[in-house]
Chains A and B, each alone.
Chain A
Amino acid sequence: MLNDLHDDILELNLGPQHPSTHGVLRLKLRLKGEEVVSAEPVIGYLHTGIEKECETRTYMQVFTLVDRIDYLSGPAEEQGYAGTVEQLMGLQVPERAQHIRVILLELARIASHLVWIGTSALELNMSSIYMYAFAEREKILDLFEEMSGARMFPSCWRVGGLAYDLDPHFEENTRKFLKDFPRTWKDLDALLTDNYVWRTRLEGVAIIDKNLCEAYMCTGPVIRGAGVPYDIRKVYPYLTYNEYAFDIPTQPEGDAFARYMVRMEEMKQSASIVEQALGKLKPGPVIVDDRKVALPPRRELVRSMEAVIHQFKLVSSGIQPPVGEVYSCVESARGEIGYYLVSDGSNKPYRLRVRSPSFPHIQVLKEVLKGYLLSDVVVAIASVDPILGDVDR
């Protein structure tokens, strides 16, 4: 027992309510002085039972539930779910809707990376970068608000296309944002990339290499920071991503600084994709023509009885996909979001499983944090960019 008293190990609880854990993550750390001997992440503090709730809602009502899983990239979640149902029903989304979806997805990716930079820098006590990043993000949220009325969750995705078309001013406002964005990017780059404090704190911390990524199923910027060019937009292309010219940035080192460089470069690539997509927009329909899936336009309700019957059926019971199972995935700002949908032919999904990207990323922290200091723990969690909403669902 006297040996226990002289034991140098301190058990510290980096608790669920903490300013630097990116949400409600709890880490049970065992420290020897300042060095971490072992770290065990405990999750479950944000579990909301979304998957069970999705089984009791119709396919249209699930859009709002699924939005809030990864709450920083709402469009990516909606696209994943809509793409899965469309694959199950064999629908072909019109081209204009696909280009608009790509624009919204890439803008959401830029917004999510800006939040990441802002909060990571805030945790290292650089609060002016937080202000710059959030001010830039407000411009993107203004664009979303013009599109659909809501800032963070533009729920304009429907099965088969979009709910409504773009505003006439959307294109010129987006072009204005794209003209000003490179200047902010250069500001953030100049403040951080060659900054002595930033580099010393981030280089060499939390090295997640290629083998660890494969063993722990990491995706997204984590695996691209380890040198593997795995990006779902290139490997299993969806929407019209094979028509755009963009690169996949990778860095070989696998440490926190490499992941930072990957995310900065991704913001630039996303801006270029938005510009290309704006050039490809042609007038046309934004939702599929099939009346069993999409609501008829309002003016048809006055003329045709069939349209009224379709509207009634769709609103009172909803779409009914055929029996089957399908898995489809999207690339969000964090990694691969996979949707596994089991349908039994009724108007409510039988099982909707969301494979979230941050779940394995937090699990890998158990392996990676040994031997680092306590201040590196904060940097490590920030560099992996977890969102606890999609870990706990």
Chain B
Amino acid sequence: MPSLTLLGQALVSGLLTGGLYGLLALGLSLSWGLLRLVNLAHFALALLGAYLTYQLGVAFHVPPWLAVGVIVPAFFLVGVLLHLVFTYFRVTEFTSLLVTFGLTVILESVIQWFWTADFRRYETPYATASLRAGPLFVPLLELAACLTAVVLALGTWAWLRFTYVGKALRASAEDPPMAAAFGVNHRAQGLLLSGVSAAYAGIAGAFIALIATLAPAQIWAWVGVVFAVAIIGGLANPVGALLAGLFIGVSESLTMAVVAPAWAPLVSFSALIVLLIARPGRT
């Protein structure tokens, strides 16, 4: 049995990684739950955001927070364009998965073309900064990512819960013709939501640039676990996505500390399998 300090540290790093999972799952969960589109390209967009943050920082000395200011509106537009294409071709839930798989491969190739397949590391002065709480270290950047995830999840929840647009989106997801009969403009709101989830990918990307070592194949590393998080959290449920992210993050890092790092994937996927079989109606 590992020491208490080690367990505590595992808990902290699990929570922080989990926040990033939740951040990535947020946009996926929104477009899947409310637009019935499974956007695999979400991961590629996030990684593209990371590379852009890296490039702006390294080549033009743009600080990351300013880079986010550029990336978010640009990605919002990308999201809107993507949804325009989807609605024009009447892409269904299943074909959306295939189309966005194609997009992911294209984006992966683009990233590899510009930045090669080599590992890239964005060195910043605060990369290693961390808070100390007793014997535990809390890395600052990961804490910021986790807090951002919390803020965005709560904000999105309030947006869906209390505003007209949010209610209209939920109504359309449940019964599009009926919502339309009550005057809901699903198209405009779909564009908005698609833009928002792409922007979330951009924000997640900026944090990935600061925290992780970048390589084009990283796109695929996230797919499995973030899908699991989005489903466990309940589609179109922002707070659920966050909590599921934290749960998976913690259970993974505890498995790493107590059993062995290589067994970690078993936890999230077993949780997903059990959930799908026990409560298939959730999504």
A binds B: no
